Amino acid sequence: MTLLLIVLLPLVGSLVPIASARSGRTTCAWLTAILPAIALGIAAWYTPAVFGGQLPQVSLDWVPALGLDIAFRLDGLSLLFVYLVLGIGLLIILYARYYLSEKDSMSRFYAYLMLFMTAMLGIVTADNLLLMWFFWELTSLSSFLLIGYWSHLSEARKGARMALTVTGAGGLCLLAGILLMGHVVGSYSLTTVLEHRELIQQSSLYQPILLLFLLGAFTKSAQFPFQFWLPHAMAAPTPVSAYLHSATMVKAGVFLLARMYPVLSGTDEWFYIVTLTGLATLLYGAFFALIKQDLKGVLAFSTISHLGLITLLFGFNSKLAAVAGVFHIINHATFKASLFMAAGIVDHECGTRDIRKLNGLWRYMPYTTVLAAVASASMAGVPLLNGFLSKEMFLAQSLEAQMLGGLSWMIPALATLGSVLSVAYSLRFIHDVFFNGEPRDLPKTPHEPPRYMRLPIEILILLCIMVGILPGIMVEPILRAATAAVVPGQAPEIHLALWHGFNLPLMMSAIALSAGVLVYLLRNHIYRFHRQFRAVNARQSFEFSVQRVVRSAQWGLDRFENGSLQRYMFLLLLSAVIVAAFGLMDVPSMAGLKSLQPLDPVVVTGAGILCLAGLGTVMLHRRRLLSLLFLSVVGMFVSLTFARFSAPDLALTQLAVEVVTIILLMLALFFLPQKTPKESSGRRVSRDILLSMIFGGVIASLNYAVLTRPLQSISTYFIENSVPGGGGHNIVNVILVDFRGFDTLGEITVLGIAGIAIYKLLNRLRLFMPSSDMEGRPWSPDRYPVILSSVSQTLLPLALLVSVFIFLRGHNLPGGGFIAGLVAAVVIILVYMSRGVEWTQRRMSFNYQPIAVTGVAIAALTGLGSWVFNKPFLTSSFGHFDIPLIGDIELATAMMFDLGVYLTVVGSTLMILANLGKVTTPHRPSKEKQ
Amino acid sequence: MLTNAIAISALLFMLAIALNFYRLIIGPSIPDRLAALDTMYVNAIGAIILFGMWLNTTLYFEAALLIAMLGFISTVAVCKYLLRGDIIE
């Protein structure tokens, strides 16, 4: 369980800077550093065990049904990355304390940084692929926040968006790959997946899986052709660049390569894709690093180049190459993070990052010059520094790669070319910035940075030198442990040493160093060569393509969604007809085996009136009031039909809904024109009539076909389980509040939201009010007719009683919260109608929003209550109680839930109707009869 | 005996409803149609109660009660609309 703390502590730590924001900048930085330091201590505590070959693991269920567990492991590779993430993270916290200015919010920066740290630690220690992906996306999101930290700068925002788009898209590919892999292996557990190399490689899905995983890794690690986001991410504050874009996040991609190396590598596909991509990235990055005039731009492209190198190493299907790849991850992180920090110091003290202006800084900051020079030398691969060792291994491995056949010599040649360029840009970084004449019009006079701002660089440089001189003591144990996790089977013999004798790789190194100096001296020719190409700004083309995608999506959307409801209806019905018609054609005969019921004159009359009323509604739809009266007839006959065919619950509901609908429409009708203008052309009307006739015919045949067949439905289950499982005899109500309680909870939530939305929309709305009816008659002066007022006041208590009665017995007999709520709402609306808003509100001075919200809350809390008893959400229980005077009564938790439904319905309905009524006031200007 | 009586009454109620519907269609004025609709509600109450008697159950009594109690509210709303335009003021 201690293992969990490595990830949990930084997560908790992301709250620390927010909590300590007011306690001063230095205190804030120290407090923030405490938790990751403890996590680092825990990692150190595990180290002997991991070196001894143990594999600490921890696993908790999260969503076991999906194969998603909170599972972590700490193998050698994880341990190495944990050290990198936490170690460099702590140095960055110290560095950022001095880098950020007074104006920047330090707590926000640290909070994002800790969130990112958590995500990164999660990726490297996750023992479940889905969990790893979760953290993978979290790094994309938190890096978005960090890159866009200076959100007032347009380029920061755009850079952040670009990084998020590219890495996010890669993340989706990775998810697809993980799902496919889980499908093949049958588990998402990393431990299980790593054991099934044969199964995965022989599966027909191997190629898609490989491609998707590589897309994820290449986008994250800025491999060609996805490298373009990284230079633009340099708009981030420099500590972020040092941390994310050199040491950690971009390493997540190569980490994925290393992690999946045991199962995915070793095939031709792996070799060609990974090697060629790595090689292209190596050269592309190196070339542009030589050309860029922006200090951080140089470092960004050199990072791309080195990531290409690491990718290339993983691409060689050789165990030693993978070891070299892991080794270079360590070395690159140390020297590149220190270079970024040095660049940050230069930027901070000089106010510019333009190499053309920065010259001869060694006079002003000699100490920083030395540090940067050592780091650059390591990047160039100068002996006695760590960069030399891994570069040497890289060159040796490039000689071993034989898979390009007769062209295999090209790999070492191009690798040497990459090293030449690497030497040239490293030299340029030092010579152009710190030497080479005097600085030109700098915004500030440079001087050495504060003591503690240099400390992180000093520590990293010390590591560079110690690893370079004493590799056997410094890195061999952890490299051996990490390799054991990467390379399947027997680990190769690692022998790190400075001196391997005079051999070909040493020759290549020597060539690289001398040719690199030469290239640097001839750099003006390269610039001239480069200048003849038109500059392509990746950000502009990215924005351009984003906008083009948005435009074409909008265009496509407009074709479908032009705002015409008739058109949507037409398309909807048309597709329904097509689907249903094809289904019906497959059925051999329309009539099934069941015989027809005898015709009953009452039913026939009712059906006839229902049809005619429906027709009337449609035909008179332009005379709105009349059409509404016909609609009432339809509603009434629908509820009579429910009653006739043994669905009293539905009949009651339909009746109540009918009344509410009429009131709602009458309220709206007042503000609408009395007659709808003729809008559709004759051709369109005939088209619609034709479609509706076909639709009616298809639906009628469908019904006929279903009803004449013996039906095996799921209702038997509900009938059998309603009393033993839900404790109620009214199956409809038990379904609503128990079997499908979660559905109901969702529905009442929607109802509540709709009510609140309507309330907000109507707020302060004032509409035109006609002063006479459609025939020009003035309104009647009798605002509140006496008979109506007295009847409604008498009815109110009775109807509320009925409402309570229907609610209480709803679990066993027709009724329930929904109907009862509607009855209560309707009768209160009647009071509003007969007495007006002012009179009613004086007597019922409460708001309806809290009622609706309370209803939803009661229903949700009832559901949550079952967690207290360790049961799934919304489990209901019931029992019989003997209460004095009343006798035996059954109480069910479902009744609490139903109470929530009741309150929501009352609150929302009144919120809608009463507020719609309040749009007008009685004090209106009107031509009333005196 | 009772069965026959119920059958005949049901037919008569349906006839009444059909006649209401006829009045609703021909009008001529809105109050005519509204009165027809309201009468139709009343006849529906009768039809439902008859149905309950035929099935020998009290379950349908509530439906009739609800129509009696709520059915007139729609009529009130339409009347208020005709008189004042604005039904809640």
Q: Cβ–Cβ of A655/B63 closer than 8 Å? A: yes
Task: Let me know if residue B53 belongs to a domain.
Answer: yes
Mutation to test the A interface, candidates B13, B55, B84, B88, most A Cβ within 10 Å = B88
Q: What is the pLDDT of residue A541?
A: 83
Comparing CA positions, the residue from A561, A299, A584 lying closest to residue A433 is A299
Asked if A410 and A543 touch (Cβ cutoff 8 Å), the reply is no
Nearest to B77 by CA among A624, A833, A790, A634: A833
Instruction: Compute the nearest-CA separation of A805 from chain B (Å).
Output: 11
Is the CB of B8 inside 8 Å of chain A's CB atoms? no
Could you say which of B10, B24, B63 has the minimum Cβ distance to residue A652?
B63
Does B69 sit within 8 Å of A773, measured CB to CB?
no
Write down the pTM of the prediction: 0.71
Other C-beta atoms closer than 10 Å to the C-beta of B52 total: 19
CA distance B65 to chain A (A): 9
A-B C-beta contacts closer than 8 Å: 151
Cis peptide before B28 (omega within 30 of 0): yes
| Chain A CB contacts of B25 below 8 Å | 612, 616
Compute CA A712 distance to the chain's CA centroid, rounded to the nearest angstrom. 42
The whole-angstrom separation of Cα A633 and Cα A607 is 12
Q: Which residues contact A877 (CB under 8 A, 6 or more apart)?
A: A727, A866, A869, A892, A893
What does pLDDT average to in each consecutive run of 10 residues of chain A (930 residues)?
Answer: 88 89 86 92 92 88 86 92 93 91 87 94 93 94 92 89 92 94 91 90 92 94 89 89 87 92 89 92 91 88 93 88 90 92 89 83 88 91 87 87 77 90 90 83 81 90 90 85 80 71 82 88 82 75 87 89 84 90 79 79 90 91 87 91 84 87 86 76 89 91 85 79 76 80 89 89 76 74 85 90 86 81 90 86 83 89 79 71 66 81 91 81 50
Find, in chain A, the residue whose alpha carbon is nearest to that of B44. A640
* Beta-bridge mates of residue A354: A294
Per-residue model confidence as pLDDT tens digits over A823-882: 999 999 898 888 888 888 888 877 888 888 999 998 888 888 777 777 777 677 776 666
C-alpha distance from residue A398 to each of A214, A275, A286, A318, A480 (Å)? 21, 10, 17, 10, 21
Between CA A607 and CA A604 the distance in angstroms is: 5
User: Pick from A143, A171, A2: which is nearest to A72 by CA?
Assistant: A2
* Measured distance CA(A80)–CA(A69) in Å, rounded: 23
Put residue A24 in one of left, alpha, beta given phi > 0 → left and psi -120 to 50 → alpha: left
Find the CB nearest A920 among B62, B73, B89: B89
Maximum Cα–Cα distance across chain A: 118
Token pair in block for residue A475? 């890195």
Collapsed DSSP state (helix, strand, coil) of residue A265:
coil
Contacts of B56 in chain A (CB under 8 A): none
Residues in chain A with CB shorter than 8 Å from the CB of B43 are none
Are the beta carbons of B77 and A605 separated by less than 8 Å? no
User: Which residues does chain B have within 8 Å of residue A767's beta carbon, measured at their own beta carbons?
Assistant: none
Residues of A in contact with B83 (CB under 8 A): 779-780, 782, 785
State the average pLDDT for chain B: 87
Residue B30 lies in a domain: yes
Q: Estimate the share of chain A in helix, then strand, then coil, as percent rounded to the nearest 5.
A: 75, 5, 25
* 3 state DSSP class of A922: coil
Query: Closest Cα partner for B18 from B28, B7, B26, B6?
Result: B26
B12 touches chain A (CB under 8 A): no
Please count the residues of chain B: 89
Query: Which ipTM score applies to this complex?
Result: 0.95
> Which of A629, A779, A788 minimises the CB distance to B37?
A629
Extract long-range pairs of A597-604: CB within 8 Å, 24+ residues apart: A601/B11, A601/B14, A602/B10, A602/B11, A602/B14, A602/B47, A603/A644
What pLDDT score was predicted for residue A881?
67
Provide the number of structural domains found in chain B.
Answer: 1
Residue B89 lies in a domain: no
CB spacing of B40 vs A633 below 8 angstroms: yes
Asked if A89 contacts A249 with a C-beta cutoff of 8 angstroms, the reply is: no
Radius of gyration (Cα) for chain A, nearest Å?
A: 37
Residue among A827, A833, A916 minimizing CB distance to B80: A833
pLDDT at A129: 93
- Report d(CA A161, CA A232) in Å as an integer: 10
Q: Output the average pLDDT for chain A.
A: 86
- Rounded Cα distance, A55 and A47, in Å: 11
- Confirm if B37 and B75 have CB atoms less than 8 A apart: yes
Taking only the tens place, the pLDDT of each residue in A284-315 is: 999 989 888 888 889 999 999 999 999 999 98
Looking at the complex, report in whole angstroms how far the Cα of residue A921 sits from the nearest Cα belonging to chain B: 6
Residue B70, domain extent: 2-84
A649, exposed or middle or buried, with CB in 10 Å at 0-12, 13-18, 19+?
Answer: buried
- Where b means 16+ CB within 10 Å and e means fewer, A634-646 reads bbbbbbbbbbbee
The pLDDT of residue A171 is: 94
Phi first, then psi: give them for residue A879, nearest 5 degrees.
-165, 165
- Å between B32 CA and nearest CA of chain A: 11
Of A684, A685, A704, A699, nearest in space to A573 by CA: A699
**Long-range Cβ contacts of A734-737 (<8 Å, 24+ apart):** A734/A811, A734/A894, A736/A816, A736/A818, A736/A901, A737/A811, A737/A816, A737/A817, A737/A876, A737/A894, A737/A895, A737/A897, A737/A898, A737/A901
Q: Is the dihedral angle over the CA atoms A45, A46, A49, A51 positive or is it negative?
A: negative
Mean pLDDT, range B24-48, rounded to an integer: 90
Using an 8 Å Cβ cutoff, are A916 and A762 in contact? yes
For residue B60, being part of any structural domain is answered with yes
- Cα separation of A140 and A473, whole Å? 36
Contact list in B for residue A814 (CB cut-off 8 A) is: 59, 62
**Segments in chain B forming alpha helices (H):** 2-26, 30-55, 59-84
Q: Is A780 close to B83, i.e. CB distance below 8 A?
A: yes
Closest in A613, A788, A833 to B88, CB measured? A833
What is the CB neighbour count within 10 angstroms for residue A502?
7
The answer to whether the beta carbons of residues A294 and A313 sit under 8 Å apart is no
Beta strands A887-892; A878-883: pairing state:
antiparallel
| Cβ contact, residue pair B89, A917, below 8 Å | yes
Taking only the tens place, the pLDDT of each residue in A176-234 is 999 999 999 989 999 999 988 889 999 899 999 999 999 999 999 999 888 888 888 88
Choose among A634, A630, A636, A627: nearest CA to A669.
Answer: A627
